[in-house]
Amino acid sequence: MRTITCEAHAKINLALDVLGRREDGYHLVRMVMQEIGIHDSLKFTVQGISAGSPYIALHTESQDIPTGPDNLIVHAACVMCDAYDIRDTIDIELTKNIPVAAGLAGGSTDAACVFRALRDLYVPEIPDEELQALALPLGADIPYCIAGGTRLAEGIGEKLTGLAPAPRCHLVLVKPPQGISTGEIYRAIDAMDHLDHPDIDGMIACIESGDLAGMAGRCSNVLESVTGKRIPLIGQIEAFLMGKGALTARMSGSGPSVFAIFEEKERAQEALEAFRREEAFKDCYSVCTDFV
């Protein structure tokens, strides 16, 4: 029996642009992705068996996560077992901290954790690039989640370029209670005649030079033009946090989560405490965190 425990970190999109759509329906994007401190925890216990197929079991106390074969964690484990002829019993215990359906890649980062953990247990010589190619059919965010850090993502999200670490700062992260369909958001984007594209090259230059204010000022997400209209609370959250001293407050992914960037930890904590006192925001998930 062998056991390994891994952290699966959430991500935010410091900038997200949509450049078009491929014939297969996947959208071409250009994004600056950033790993953040909030994370799930996955414990893997593996036991060898003499013959037969692998047995994969997922356990969690979360009421929001199905544990059957359709779960992305189980699917990722099956892909690894098929690719590297793993036939063991694999028991996975998930402690869920990242909000679901939040635009934070919670499912993708859990799947990425499976790829990394089973690689480390069975085929440690396999590089990240091979794992990323294996993972891509399961989800376009998973290759980034395997790599982590601060990266430019292009193509459908699989073409990754490492950037300098983003300037040090502190975040208030908020998820409104409303949900949103990612497919619905992208269909609405496809129907739009004009998009205000983020200055991603300018953001990258600010990151490389350590210019926090310049980076924050270029945070932008084309999907917010759609999601923000469907969930007005997003704009209200952003305005509140900007009023509490945030350098910027923007939506991550297709939403509805909002991140606000603060230069000082104390200001971020004060803003979070004030946010939690507001009756209008009482049903929101909210937390302070940092870049990883």
Kindly list the catalytic residues: 11, 141
19-52 burial: b if 16+ Cβ within 10 Å, else e? eeeeeeeeeebbbbbbbbbbbbebebbbeeeeee
Phi and psi, residue 49, nearest 5°: -125, 160
Q: Are strands 89-95 and 248-251 parallel, antiparallel or unpaired?
A: unpaired
Phi and psi, residue 167, nearest 5°: -55, 145
Tokens, residue 123: 């085929």
Q: Are strands 89-95 and 170-175 parallel, antiparallel or unpaired?
A: unpaired
79-90 burial: b if 16+ Cβ within 10 Å, else e? bbbebeebebeb
165-203 burial: b if 16+ Cβ within 10 Å, else e? ebbebbbbbbbbebebeeeebbeebeeeeeeeebbbeeb
Spatial separation of the C-alpha atoms in residues 35 and 147, rounded to whole Å: 10
